[in-house]
Amino acid sequence: MTTATAPARPASARRGHLPRPPSFLRLVRIELRRSPMPLILPLIAALFWFDSYRPSTSQAPLYPLVTFWNMGQGHTIIDVGPFAAGMAAWIGARDGRRGTADLVTATPRPRWVAQLATWGATALWAVLAYLVFAGVMFAWYAHRGVQGEPPWWWVAVGATAVLAFTAAGFTAGVLFPNRFVAPLAAFGGFLLMMMSSQTGFRDRSGWALLLPTNSNGNFQVDSGILYPYLPDLPIARMMFLAGIAVAVLGLAGLPAAAGGRRVRMAAAAVIVVGLTATGTAVGLARTARLSSHGMVIPALHDAASGKLIAYTPVCAGSGFRVCLNPAYRRYLTDTVGALAPVAHEVAGLPGAPVRAVQAPAIYDDNDGQGGQPMTISGDPPVLSVPYGAFSFLPGPAGFSTAPVSRTVYDQNTRLLFAQAFVGAGDTLGTPAQQAVRAALLQAAGVPFAQQPGLVSGALQPSAPSPGPGRATGPVYAAAARFAALPPATRHAWLVTNLAALRAGQVTLDRLP
């Protein structure tokens, strides 16, 4: 030690009560440099790759599909959040572990404020890591040529969730500075996420929509492709999660050791603010309703966000032209081949479409499953194909875990086209409609024997399939007779009776 004279005493103390940003930021800077959070990041990165990225590689290269597991069902949050909570708890317990409580208490800056600096650095590392991992994943998706817009709103929700996890873990560590708080925070957070998933499967409305791993109403296949991701639900979720984060951080300021009376009152006010935000989000979620493009919360909704995304379609087909959104370009040739036989069969008939265009899929409670009908409308008639509602895109696709063969794709596509043509929509249709549809499909290359299973799977997913070789009964008998007619005869009958058939006024015995 030396006897050098001390520096000049600092200017007389200021009388403000709030932390001054420069000092506070410098505290955060020290904490950032020395935070142990980076030590856990390599492990989280590996798990992120395993659990969030790897399962997405089997999906069709459309952003809503590749990100449904990791963003839509919150697996990115599950991969990062519990670890962040555990580490934050360990960091929050630092003063208790290190015996520095007295040292920190004996300073004018309230202990709560010092803790907020520590938490801030912890949260910055955790959120930054999440954003980097998600960013790398999306960069790789872009490199792979995944089509559509990334679900950036859901990245923001994930970042807010990670923030909430660090806040909850940190506060737990502050309040219970013992060796068990870190694992309890981590596993407790994981359990909460799993319960959140379960609640999401069970409850499709109300406050349950705010749970971070609830996939209902997040986005469907056409989100970010034909229409934008609606920000209503993400905003409400961020409000909910941020409110939780703020409220639990306020909890850390309540103990007597956190500071004087004013500090504790400020902490109580912070808790109120946080709970207000959370409660507001719950109230907003209760007003949510499913619209054709996603979940709408009236108080947050901007009508402009529901407009269709303009695009220049890609088209193919010489006789019957098919036009799709460029994101679906890879399916264009297959779609032309699938639709052409039915188009050929109905060409020239009243209401026969002259071309096909892609239409936006409509949100439904079944997350797009169960099929949505193709429709024919306009003058000249155009076949509208809601591609996003199909779970049978060829190749690894949709919600199926196994690749879909070209045959399955062709058969399902032709079925839906025929359904639209006979006016049956997404119902089984009248017996006469069923018979005409069956005959059309037979002519288009879908044998009768395969039709019962196909119809059951597409239009009655919950009914047991009759299996192949059971194309019996009066409907198929009539269909066989109809299909056996010369094409000109069949054509003439349809010209005369198509309107009545579509209106459901034709009975089975009127079929030739």
The residue among 143 and 179 lying less far from other proteins, judged by its C-beta, is 179
Work out whether 30 is an interface residue with other proteins (CB under 8 A).
yes
Nearest to 38 by CA among 116, 121, 120, 125: 125
Query: Cβ distance 471 to 449 under 8 Å?
Result: yes
Single residue of 18, 34, 143, 509 touching other proteins by CB under 8 A: 34
Distance in angstroms (rounded) separating the CA atoms of residues 278 and 272: 10
Which residue, 50 or 311, is less far from other proteins as judged by CB? Answer: 50
Contact residue for other proteins among 261, 312, 318, 486 (CB under 8 A): 261
Stretch 51-90: interaction string toward other proteins, x if CB under 8 A: x--xx----------------------xx--xx--x---x
Instruction: Centre a 10 Å sphere on the Cβ of residue 25 and count the other Cβ atoms it contains.
Output: 14
What is the number of other CB atoms lying within 10 angstroms of the CB of residue 498? 20
Site membership for other proteins, residue 303 (CB under 8 A): no
Q: Which stretch binds other proteins (CB under 8 A): 183-191, 219-227, 372-380, 445-453?
A: 183-191
Position 152 contacts other proteins (CB under 8 A)? no
Does position 461 bind other proteins by CB under 8 A?
A: no
Task: Give the amino acid at 352.
Answer: A
Q: List, in order, residues 6 or more apart from 293 with CB less than 8 Å away.
A: 222, 223, 227, 228, 230, 306, 360, 363
| Part in contact with other proteins (CB under 8 A); list of ranges 106-114, 317-325, 329-337, 472-480 | 106-114
Contact call for residue 18 and other proteins (CB under 8 A): no
Minimum CB distance to other proteins, residue 86 (Å) = 6
Structure tokens at 71: 């963003």
CA 456: distance to chain centroid? 28
Nearest CA-CA partner of 277 in 316, 236, 317, 309: 236
Dihedral (CA of 203, 204, 205, 207) sign: positive
Residue number, 11 or 304, with CB nearest to other proteins:
11
Looking at the Cβ atoms of 42 and 145, the one nearer to other proteins is 42
Rg of the chain taking only CA atoms, in angstroms: 30
Among 3, 312, 318, 462, which residue sits at the site for other proteins (rule: CB under 8 A)? 3
- Length, in residues, of the chain: 512
Residue 286 and residue 206 in contact, taking contact as beta carbons nearer than 8 Å: yes
Classify burial at 224, counting beta carbons within 10 Å of its beta carbon; exposed 0-12, middle 13-18, buried 19 or more: buried
Which range touches other proteins (CB under 8 A), out of 35-43, 149-157, 297-305, 497-505? 35-43
Q: What is the largest CA-CA distance in the chain?
A: 116
Residue 208 — φ and ψ, nearest 5°?
A: -60, -25
Q: Is position 198 an interface residue for other proteins (rule: CB under 8 A)?
A: yes
Q: Which span (27-35, 312-320, 352-360, 483-491) binds other proteins, by CB under 8 A? A: 27-35
- Asked if 100 is part of the footprint of other proteins (rule: CB under 8 A), the reply reads yes
**Which 118-147 positions form the footprint of other proteins (CB under 8 A)?**
none
Q: Is 114 in the site for other proteins (CB under 8 A)?
A: yes
Contacts with other proteins in 386-405 (CB under 8 A)?
A: none
Tokens of 158: 């994930």
Nearest-approach distance from CB 485 to other proteins, in angstroms = 48
- CB of residue 13 to other proteins, shortest distance in Å: 5
Q: Is 7 in the site for other proteins (CB under 8 A)?
A: yes
Residue 447 binds to other proteins (criterion: CB under 8 A): no
**Facing residues of 404 across strands?**
395
Read off the tokens for 82. 């519990």
Q: Any idea which residue has 């990115």 for tokens?
A: 76
Query: Does 269 help bind other proteins (rule: CB under 8 A)?
Result: no
What is the closest distance, in whole angstroms, from the C-beta atom of residue 323 to other proteins in the complex?
37
Counting residues that bind other proteins (by CB under 8 A) gives 69
Contact 318, 285 (CB under 8 A): no
Under 8 Å between Cβ of 168 and 242: no
Cβ atoms 394, 328 nearer than 8 A? no
Nearer to other proteins by Cβ, of 10 and 380: the residue is 10
Nearer to other proteins, 265 or 499 (CB): 265
φ and ψ of 323, to 5 deg:
-125, 130
Please report, as ranges, the residues that interact with other proteins according to CB under 8 A.
1-7, 9-11, 13-14, 17, 20, 22-23, 26-27, 30, 33-34, 36, 40, 43, 47, 50-51, 54-55, 78-79, 82-83, 86, 90, 94-95, 98-109, 114, 178-180, 182-184, 186-187, 190-191, 194-195, 197-198, 201-202, 260-262
